Amino acid sequence: MANHDMHREWASKTRGQEDSGHLADSVAEILDCAALCFTEMGFQGTSIDDVARRLGATKGRIYHYFRSKTDLFFEVHREGMRRLMDAVNSAMSQGGTGREKLLHMIEAHALTMMQNTAYEAVVVQGVHMHRLSATTPEQRVSLDELMDIRHRFEQLFVETMREGQADGSVREGADVSLAVKGLLGAVNWMAIWYRPRPDETPEQQQLIARHVAELQVSGIA
Amino acid sequence: MANHDMHREWASKTRGQEDSGHLADSVAEILDCAALCFTEMGFQGTSIDDVARRLGATKGRIYHYFRSKTDLFFEVHREGMRRLMDAVNSAMSQGGTGREKLLHMIEAHALTMMQNTAYEAVVVQGVHMHRLSATTPEQRVSLDELMDIRHRFEQLFVETMREGQADGSVREGADVSLAVKGLLGAVNWMAIWYRPRPDETPEQQQLIARHVAELQVSGIA
């Protein structure tokens, strides 16, 4: 079974039952631990045992919800993409010129990367896996599905940039596809270098995210 | 033995000998094949057998020059970084304002990514490996050395951007460290999405590289 609607399915299956909250918590806890394991050790270097140990639970508890390590990895990836999508959709709906919307969308993308470092590191790992031919057929199905989600994500930026060209807030000469790949790359690369400082406040994170977005919209010169 | 001066060592050891060119060719051929294998199948998914098969040679020929798969991987990474460094250093030496130099440096970086897709995909894989804790002590030594090279690479851009702020060609308000991480990320991310079209000319590649650089310097608005 594909896992991408698991949360919703469980929620609806167990609606009205006493343990609905418990079930959701349980899955969220597994995903949180898995995200940390995959981020630190990579897909290849992580076993279900590692996740269970970190969770302080048996492997059985994990296998109750996830068929395999691959399933677990891709559910973490899906959750990471869901958080990005939600943040960017919400920024988009604030309105304004194309340029203003893009600024808010890039800022929301950057802030989500910073507030969900483990999930978003797994998203980036999944994108890398997609490049490799040495994937199993099972992995390939999930990877293709996830690439569709990433394509839709990219399209949000493409459409907004076209809006900006139409309303005159984004310069006409820019190649939209190339520009969007550039700005998404600049933000995605945060998965490589960004680590929150121990005493970093949410306000400081917001400032960094805003500055990243401004640099992409206005350049350095 | 560290491999990073192997080419030079061989060249000097065999200077005046008939097979000096042959030796260098042999190593270059192994690195080319290894770069393709690692790019397509990743570090974990590639064996020395795969590289030998692609090369049409025995494993012995590879082990003659490289102690292990890890050695081979990092020599490909070093070669990829060497190409980036050479291109960016040469662009830097063209002179101009800080802004003009940055434009040429980003363009050179992008073009090198596009002209060496296999080597540069391995560079990006190495950067990802550095994030993982599940590396062997042997890998860690090479990874730390390579991160030093990347740090020096990044510093070239940081210094040039500071020059630009001093000469007034780059805006003062920009956080130099954040700006450089952004623009390098935008170009590094090309390892994920860029594939040359079958009929793509060097002139078209140059245009793409220039546009990528212009977008980073001038923004989209």
Which structure tokens are listed for A93? 């709906």
- Give the model's pLDDT for residue B20: 53
Burial-class residue B113 by CB neighbours within 10 Å (0-12, 13-18, 19+).
buried
Q: Containing H/E element for A211?
A: helix A202-218
Residue ranges in B46-136 assigned as alpha helix (H): 48-55, 59-63, 69-92, 98-115, 117-131
List, for residues B121-168, the tens digit of each pLDDT value.
Answer: 999 988 888 777 666 787 888 888 888 999 999 999 999 999 999 999
CB-CB under 8 Å, B42 with A134? yes
Q: Is A161–B220 a contact, with Cβ atoms under 8 angstroms apart?
A: yes
Distances (CA, A) of A50 to A58, A70, A113, B31: 10, 14, 24, 35
Structure tokens at B86: 């050479």
Which residue in the set A127, A171, A212 is minimally distant from B192, CB to CB?
A127
Q: Chain B partners of A102 at a C-beta cutoff of 8 Å?
A: 220
Cα angle A175-A177-A181, degrees, rounded to a multiple of 5: 115
* Interface pTM, i.e. ipTM: 0.86
Nearest Cα residue in chain A from B220: A217
Q: What is the pLDDT of residue A54?
A: 95
- Give the burial class of B218: count Cβ atoms within 10 A of its Cβ; 0-12 exposed, 13-18 middle, 19 or more buried: middle
- One-letter amino acid for residue B49 of the chain: D
Cβ contact A179–B128 (<8 Å)? no
Cross-chain CB nearest to B41 (options A128, A134, A217) = A134
Residues A161, A98: contact at Cβ < 8 Å? yes
Longest Cα–Cα distance of chain A, Å, equals: 59
**Stretches in chain B below the pLDDT threshold 50:** 1-18
Contact at 8 Å (CB) between B15 and B56? no
> What CA–CA distance (Å, rounded) separates A46 from B146?
24
For the record, the structure tokens of B77 come out as 């990474």
Answer whether B221 sits within 8 Å of A41, measured CB to CB. no
Q: Classify residue A68 as exposed, middle or buried by CB count within 10 Å of its CB (0-12, 13-18, 19+).
A: middle
Nearest Cβ partner for B181 among A46, A102, A193: A193
**Residue A200 CA neighbour count, 13 Å, CB half:** 14
- What tokens were used for B12? 């000097």
- The per-residue pLDDT string of chain A (221 residues; one tens digit each, 9 = 90 and over) reads 344 444 444 444 433 444 556 666 789 999 999 999 999 998 888 999 999 999 999 999 999 999 999 999 999 999 999 999 999 999 999 999 999 999 999 999 999 999 999 999 999 988 888 877 666 787 888 888 888 999 999 999 999 999 999 999 999 988 999 999 999 999 999 999 999 999 999 999 999 999 999 999 999 88
Buried residues in B192-210 as b, exposed as e (16+ CB within 10 A):
bebeeeeeeeeeebeebbb
Helix/strand/coil for B151: helix
A182: closest chain B residue by CA: B186
Please count the residue pairs, one from chain A and one from chain B, whose beta carbons lie less than 8 angstroms apart. 146
Identify how many contiguous H helices and E strands chain A contains and give both numbers. 11, 0
Q: For testing the chain A interface, which of B101, B133, B215 should be mutated: the one with the most A CBs within 10 Å?
A: B215
Is A156 in contact with A105 (CB distance < 8 Å)? yes
- In terms of CA atoms, which chain B residue is nearest residue A184? B186
User: Reduced to 3 states, what is the DSSP secondary structure of residue B124?
Assistant: helix
Ranges of each domain in chain B: 6-218
The residues, any chain, with a CB within 8 Å of residue B174's CB and separated by 6 or more, are: A215, A220, B161, B165
CB atoms closer than 10 angstroms to residue A164: 25
Chain B residues in contact with A131 by the CB 8 A cut-off are 39, 121, 192
Instruction: With CB atoms and an 8 Å threshold, state whether B182 touches A45.
Output: no
As given in the structure block, the two tokens for residue A156 are: 């949000």
Cβ-contact B26, B65 below 8 angstroms: yes
> Is A6-218 assigned to CATH 1.10.357.10?
yes
Query: What's the DSSP call for residue B5?
Result: T
Mean pLDDT of chain A: 88
Chain B CB contacts of A121 below 8 Å: 131
**Which of A44, A102, A185 lies nearest to residue B188, judging by beta carbons?**
A185
Pick B221's closest partner by Cβ from A121, A171, A178: A171
Res A17: pLDDT: 42
In angstroms, what separates the C-alpha of A195 from chain B's closest C-alpha? 11
Kindly determine whether residue A183 and residue B179, on different chains, have CB atoms separated by under 8 Å.
no
Instruction: Quote the pLDDT of residue B134.
Output: 61
Q: Is the distance from CB of B126 to CB of A128 less than 8 angstroms?
A: no
CA distances (Å), origin B139, targets B2, B68, B71, B124: 12, 11, 8, 15
Cβ–Cβ gap B127/A184 under 8 Å: no
pLDDT, position B22: 64
